Structure 1
Amino acid sequence: MPNTYSGGCQCGNVRYEATLELDGVIACNCSRCGRLGSLLAFAPAGSFKLLKGDDAQTDYTFNKHIIHHLFCKTCGIESFARGKSPDGQEMVAINVRCLDGVDPDALSVKRVDGKSY
Structure 2
Amino acid sequence: MKTYNGSCHCGAIKFALNCTAITKGLRCNCSICRRKGTMMLGEAVDEADITIEANPEDIGLYQFDSKIAKHYFCKHCGIYTHHETARYPGKYRVNLGCLDEVDPFALEYDVFDGKNWMPET
- How much does 1:85 deviate? 5.1
- How much does 1:76 deviate? 0.6
1:3 aligns with 2:5: no
- How much does 1:92 deviate? 1.5
CA distance in 2, matches of 1:5, 1:18: 5
Amino acid at match of 2:19: L
Aligned to 2:35: 35
CA distance in 1, matches of 2:48, 2:83: 14
Superimposed CA distance per residue, residues 67-110 of structure 1 (whole angstroms, 9 cap, x where no aligned partner): 11111111111111124654x5x211101011112111221200
Superposition TM-score, scaled by structure 2 size: 0.85
CA distance in 1, matches of 2:76, 2:105: 27
1:1-117 to 2 correspondences below 5 Å: 2-21=1-20, 22-41=22-41, 42-83=44-85, 86=88, 90-117=90-117
Structure 1: 5+ residue stretches without partners:
none
- State the 4+ residue runs in structure 1 displaced beyond 6 angstroms: none
Return 19-28 or 6-15, whichever deviates more. Answer: 19-28
- How much does 1:33 deviate? 0.6
CA distance in 2, matches of 1:56, 1:69: 14
Amino acid at match of 2:114: G
CA distance in 1, matches of 2:112, 2:84: 18
Let me know the Cα RMSD of the aligned residues.
1.5
Partner-residue secondary structure (3-state), 1:116: coil
- CA 1:97 to 1:62, structure 2 compared with 1: closer, same or farther past 3 Å? same
Structure 2: 5+ residue stretches without partners:
none
